Amino acid sequence: MNTMNGIARRIPALAALVAVGLLLSACGYNTIPTLEEQAKARWSDVQNQYQRRADLIPNLVATVQGYAAQEKTVLTAVVEARAKATQIKLDVSQLSDPEKLKAFQDAQNQLTGALGRLLAVSENYPDLKSNANFLALQSQLEGTENRIAVARRDYIDAVRAYNTALRTFPTVIWAKTLFSGEKPMTEFAANQGAEKPPQVKF
């Protein structure tokens, strides 16, 4: 009998706990951390695609050098731009710092420009353009540039959703109270023509 009374007394407490849980989930308590994690995951995708591009560059440079060693200035510019781009690391804790994201983006843009000049130089070397290794690298680079564009777009969308949740009802209540330390994340600044990936076809 005492056991039954103990259970009966706990039922209202359990019901209240379930009600609070449902209330918290219904009013957006979980939205902010969920969107933050999604944005961080999208940032990892961006970094992975830029790293994929950086990994292709040594082979690309070596292949071009085999046919166009006299283009030393262009080859050196690519190697230096790659070194700078891979040195600038931006972890998820720094995504609310516009200056750090700009430095990362500037380094990647410099590498994009150097790669564009390298690929343009290859036009002057028919043997290089028909080299199987070069064609394979060019195809991988093209695919990677497309993946970078998609990863950046997905990151921007995730950041917008997260930043919007910090400013809109009902999640703004949690943003001002329990998540008051959370700051808006920084989006990529659009470059002119950034809506399209660089063309690296021949």
Asked whether residue 198 carries a pLDDT value surpassing 70, the answer given is: no
The structure tokens listed for 94 are: 């720094």
Asked whether residue 169 carries a pLDDT value surpassing 60, the answer given is: yes
- Region of 193 on the Ramachandran plot (φ > 0 left; ψ -120 to 50 alpha; else beta): left
Report, as an integer, the average pLDDT of 111-140: 93
DSSP 3-state assignment of 168? coil
Please give the mean pLDDT across all residues of the chain. 86
* Structure confidence at residue 194 (pLDDT): 44
Structural contact between residues 57 and 115, judged by C-beta atoms closer than 8 angstroms: yes
Largest CA distance in the chain: 95
* Structure confidence at residue 78 (pLDDT): 96
Domains of the chain (ranges, CATH numbers): 2-176 (1.20.1440.20)
Asked whether residue 129 carries a pLDDT value surpassing 90, the answer given is: no
* Structure confidence at residue 189 (pLDDT): 75
C-alpha distance from residue 107 to each of 38, 81, 101, 142, 185 (Å):
25, 7, 10, 19, 20
Three-state helix/strand/coil letters over 75-115: HHHHHHHHHHHHHCCCCHHHCCCHHHHHHHHHHHHHHHHHH
Q: Could you tell me the sign of the dihedral formed by the alpha carbons of 142, 146, 149, 151, in that order?
A: negative
Neighbours of 2 (CB within 10 A): 6
Per the confidence metrics, is the pTM higher than 0.85? no
The structure tokens listed for 71 are: 């283009």
The structure tokens listed for 52 are: 């994929």
